[in-house]
Amino acid sequence: MNLLMEKELSSQIERIFADLNRQSAAAALPEPAALSSLLSKYVVPSSPTTIVAATPSVLTHFATAAVEMWLRSVHSFLISASLTNSSPIWSSVAGYYSSHYSIRAFAHVFGAFQLHRSKRIIYLDNAAGHLALRIEKKHGDHREHKFYWKYVSEHPQLATDPFFYAFRDDLPISDGGHRTMANYADHIDRFPVFLPLSAEFLEERIERIATVKFSDVPVPRAEHFPDTVNVQFVAYHRIVKFRNLLDEVLGSKNRFWKVQRNPSWCPRAMKFSVVEAVFAALYAGK
C-alpha cells in the first residue's frame, strides 16, 4: 500500500465527514437524490470537462451518500440471507446488489459519482490541499456497473484486494455473469416451496457466512446458479471491508458514523465480523 496515498485518502475522508460531527446523526441523511440534484447544478452542457471548487455541502453529501449506499448494501444482504431457501432467485439478485451497493459506497467515499441523466462523471480531486469537482462527460463504456466496479478495483487503496475486480458479465465465473443469469436467462425454474422468513434461520445463516474458512475468494459461478453461498460470501466481506475502512479513519470520533455503523434495524447476529486469519490472508494480493 502506498503510505502517501493512504494519508491523503484518510485526510479526504476526515474532511468530507467533518461537518457531520456538528449535527445530530439521526437527522443527518438528506432527502432522496440530494447529491445528484446538488451536483447537476454544476454541469455545463456545452463543456465536456468542468472544474469547480467543492463546497462543504457537496463534501458532506458525498459522505452521506457513501454511508447510505453501505446501509443499502447491509439491508440487501439481510434480504438475500433471509431468502436463501425460500427464493433462491431473489436471494441471488439481492446478494449481487448488496455487493454493488458496497462498491458504490467505496466509490463515493473515494470521491466518484455518476450523474445518469446529465451523462456526467464527477470526481473529487485534491489539488494542493483543496478539494475540487472535476466534471467529465460520460463515454460509451461508462455504464454504471462497469464504471463503478472498475474505478473501485483500480483505486490504489483496493488495487491488491482480491475481493475487488472489474465487472464482467460475459464470464461465467463472475458476479456479473451470475447476475446476468438471474436477471435475463429464461427457464431458470428454481421455485421451492415458499417458507415464511425465519429470524432463527437468518441468524444461523449470518453466523455461517461470518465464520466459514476458505482458501480463495469464492467468486459466484453462473453454472452453479443460484450460487447463493458465494454471492453472499463476497457481499458480506465487502460490507465488512467498508465498515473497517471508515472505522480506521474515523474511529469513534465522528458522531454520524458512530451511529450509522451499527444500524438499529440490524439483527444481533449481524456483528460485521469475519475469521481474522483467513480475512487477512485473502487480502495479501489478487
Contact 81, 209 (CB under 8 A): yes
Q: How far, in whole angstroms, is CA 24 from its chain's centroid?
A: 24
Given this model, what pLDDT does residue 54 score? 95
- Give how many domains the chain has, as a whole number: 1
Per-residue pLDDT of the chain (286 residues; tens, 9 = 90+): 444 457 889 999 999 999 999 888 777 889 999 999 999 999 999 898 999 999 999 999 999 999 999 999 999 999 999 999 888 889 999 999 999 999 999 999 999 999 988 999 999 998 777 899 999 998 877 788 899 999 999 999 999 898 998 887 777 777 877 777 777 778 777 777 777 788 899 999 999 898 887 777 888 888 888 888 899 999 999 999 999 999 999 988 899 999 999 999 999 889 998 875 454 444 444 4
Count of other CB atoms within 10 angstroms of residue 40: 15
**Cross-strand partners of 122:** 113, 135
Which amino acid, one-letter code, is at 286? K
Residue 277 CA: distances (Å) to CA of 211, 272, 280, 281: 11, 15, 5, 6
How far apart (Å, rounded) are the C-alpha atoms in residues 176 and 166?
Answer: 9
For the chain, the helix, strand and coil percentages under 3-state DSSP, each to the nearest 5: 55, 10, 35
Containing structural domain, residue 38: 3-282
